[in-house]
Structure 1
Amino acid sequence: MVVNREHSKQRTRSDRRTRLTVLVALGANLVIAVAKTVGGLVASSPALLSEAAHSVADSLNEIFLLAALRRSRRPADRRHPFGYGKERWFWSLLAAVGIFVMGGCFSFFQAFEAMSQGDRPVSTSHYVAGLAVLGVALLAEGTSLIRALHQFRKQGGKAHDPAHRTVIAEDSTAVVGVLLAMAGMALHLVTGKAVWEAAASLAIGLLLVYVAYRLGRESRDLLIGVAVDPEVRGAIRAMLDDQAEIDNVASLLTMRLGMDSTLVAARIDLVPGLDSEEIELVSERIKQAVEDRWPEADQVFLDITEAPPHPGR
């Protein structure tokens, strides 16, 4: 129990750090979205407007992630006996959909618009102002990304939290998207060819669709029900096999229920000769041993049968 309480405290501290990371990203994206929108409308730049849509999508997604952090920590109740841990993956899935619809599709629309309008004269002063906006956006997005990566390193190089992974993916994509938009705008300004901005908008859209697909696929797998890592499953089975009272582990099933909640269900055969009281004590001891070693395994179920006597015994 002491181990589980310590694990819960660590999870709470991690959630606070993740919440701060999301809030930093949200603040940066809200300011950037306004600046990009104003700059894009003034310069009539499709690449800059694509990046404005990108930042709006990221801002909405970070609101989703904040909701995920709050709602997933609710305690278990009658209707949800295993808790609300999967809420985090549901809201992350919504964030992925938001990236695809609001960011990717709008960028494709801007690319089509730029190609259909053809080459047109551009205002040098407006485009320079737009490039300056993107330069500030690059600085802000880079700061947010550094913050997210710093937390990633503090966690030992493993971003298990889907909210944290989403922020890293969004910020990384935002940095690349800003660079693409700057390149498209600069080449359009120099050559007078709108195709460069159309290409930049198309590239931004493709990038956002790819990120949305990766994040959405992962959230889908977790919502459907995914097993723990093979290494952890192998270690749990090895520990069960090592118990003197266990004759055979017939099956072992695992499923992640949340950030710090895992279901472990094992069908085991005990050695012959144990009475009912001994079976109950062995069962409780094995459950506690699993929970002590893997604190996230807070739902452990054992289906126990007594192995038949071996031939010759």
Structure 2
Amino acid sequence: MTKDAEHDGVPADGGTRGAVVVALAANLVIALAKVAGGLVAASPALLAEAAHSVADSLNEVFLLASLRRSRRRPDARHPFGYGKERFFWSMLAAVGIFVTGGCFSFYQGLHTLLHPEGEETGGYLVVYLVLLVSLLAEGGSLLKATLEIRGQARRAGRGLAAQLRHGSDPTVRTVFAEDAAAVLGVLLALAGAGLHQLTGRPVWEAAAALAIGVLLMYVAHRLGRDAKDRLIGEAVDPAAQQRALDLLAAQPGIDTVTRLLTMQLGPDSALLAARVDLVDGLDSAGVEELCVAAKQRLRTELPEFDQVFLDITAADAQERHRAAARRRHLREAVDRQRAAGA
């Protein structure tokens, strides 16, 4: 895994931070414009989009906090570092999208649907102007996030879609999801306002607000599920597991890798614990040299594994059989990933 830059040995997040800052600036300006325009024009779709932008603005603050806090050095209380702070704050961002954005938008649409007589949008020019400006700003922020994810995908040797599914940095993925949802939300709001003006029926703006609410709830669900998996202790990408297994198996002196366990500790930090059976005839000095060489090669070839533990144990026939089955399942997982475009 390639790191952007380092300062005193701590990787920097220049590209990711830039994407978050751009998104925050865009969302703050857009949120104010949508609130003012929604109140002036009494547009439920525009007010739903205003809630969306307010939620996104709060989430960018969460994500900026995660960038700073996740880079703290390991200490006695957190010997594996603070990388999982990134996942925790991404979880909070998902909750913010669900509650502040999704629930309010859904309420706004439902209220308009049940009480259409009290919802008569005026000043359509204001609505369209605010939404078009929002579309340009959100589109620019989405472009910035897309370029950052493409860069990460290129460094990881993946495509864009695969990086979105399997990338280890939730921050820029959250920004991308927020911006993509924002662009779709603006298009829905434009459609709702246009159909309302064309037909004179506020049900269209109510439907747009409901659709925006459902969209935000779905995005929040996906982001929250990913963050939950990482917080619980998700294994690294199958392709990285396969490379680590191949490197260990090719190490002179290692007969069989009977178990390989991994866990993502942060965007560029992972733990690897392997149980290995050595060839016969090695003395204690030879075992020590082998372990040092194996760890060094892993850290050189796969620097994301900054925590490596090897357990030397003798394997019986049953353990070898289980190890072969696990290797086969891992290869199948990697093949499925590649077939899906990874």
TM norm. shorter chain > 0.5: yes
5+ residue gaps, structure 1: 309-313
The within-5 A match list for 1:1-313 is 8=6, 12-13=11-12, 15-119=13-117, 122=120, 124=122, 126-155=123-152, 156=154, 157=160, 158=163, 160=167, 161-305=169-313
User: Compared with structure 1, are the counterparts of its residues 115 and 306 closer, same or farther at alpha carbon in structure 2 (3 Å cutoff)?
Assistant: closer
- Cα RMSD (Å) of the superposition? 2.0
Cα distance in 2, alignment partners of residues 307 and 111 from structure 1? 63
Cα distance in 2, alignment partners of residues 17 and 229 from structure 1? 22
| SS at structure 1 position matched to 2:309 | strand
Cα deviation for residue 121 of structure 1 reads: 7.3
Tell which deviates more after alignment, 91-100 or 243-252. Answer: 243-252
Cα distance in 1, alignment partners of residues 240 and 149 from structure 2? 21
User: Compared with structure 1, are the counterparts of its residues 306 and 265 closer, same or farther at alpha carbon in structure 2 (3 Å cutoff)?
Assistant: same
| SS at structure 2 position matched to 1:298 | strand
Tell which deviates more after alignment, 59-68 or 126-135. Answer: 126-135
Cα distance in 2, alignment partners of residues 4 and 136 from structure 1? 36
TM-score by length of 2: 0.84
From the CA coordinates, give the structure whose radius of gyration is larger. Answer: 1
Is contact 1:51-1:178 (8 Å) kept?
yes
Tell which deviates more after alignment, 4-13 or 243-252. Answer: 4-13
Cα deviation for residue 73 of structure 1 reads: 0.4
Cα distance in 1, alignment partners of residues 15 and 60 from structure 2? 14
**Sequence identity (%):** 58
Cα deviation for residue 120 of structure 1 reads: 5.4
Is contact 2:45-2:189 (8 Å) kept?
yes
| SS at structure 1 position matched to 2:270 | strand
TM-score by length of 1: 0.92
Cα deviation for residue 244 of structure 1 reads: 2.4
| SS at structure 2 position matched to 1:197 | helix
Cα distance in 2, alignment partners of residues 291 and 198 from structure 1? 55
The corresponding residue for 1:311 is: none
Cα distance in 2, alignment partners of residues 299 and 55 from structure 1? 40
Is contact 1:271-1:307 (8 Å) kept?
no
| SS at structure 1 position matched to 2:206 | helix
Cα distance in 1, alignment partners of residues 44 and 306 from structure 2? 51
User: Compared with structure 1, are the counterparts of its residues 138 and 297 closer, same or farther at alpha carbon in structure 2 (3 Å cutoff)?
Assistant: same
Is contact 1:7-1:295 (8 Å) kept?
no
Cα distance in 2, alignment partners of residues 26 and 97 from structure 1? 17
Cα distance in 2, alignment partners of residues 6 and 27 from structure 1? 23
User: Compared with structure 1, are the counterparts of its residues 123 and 287 closer, same or farther at alpha carbon in structure 2 (3 Å cutoff)?
Assistant: closer
| SS at structure 1 position matched to 2:259 | strand
One-letter identity of the residue aligned with 1:181? A
Cα distance in 1, alignment partners of residues 4 and 120 from structure 2? 61
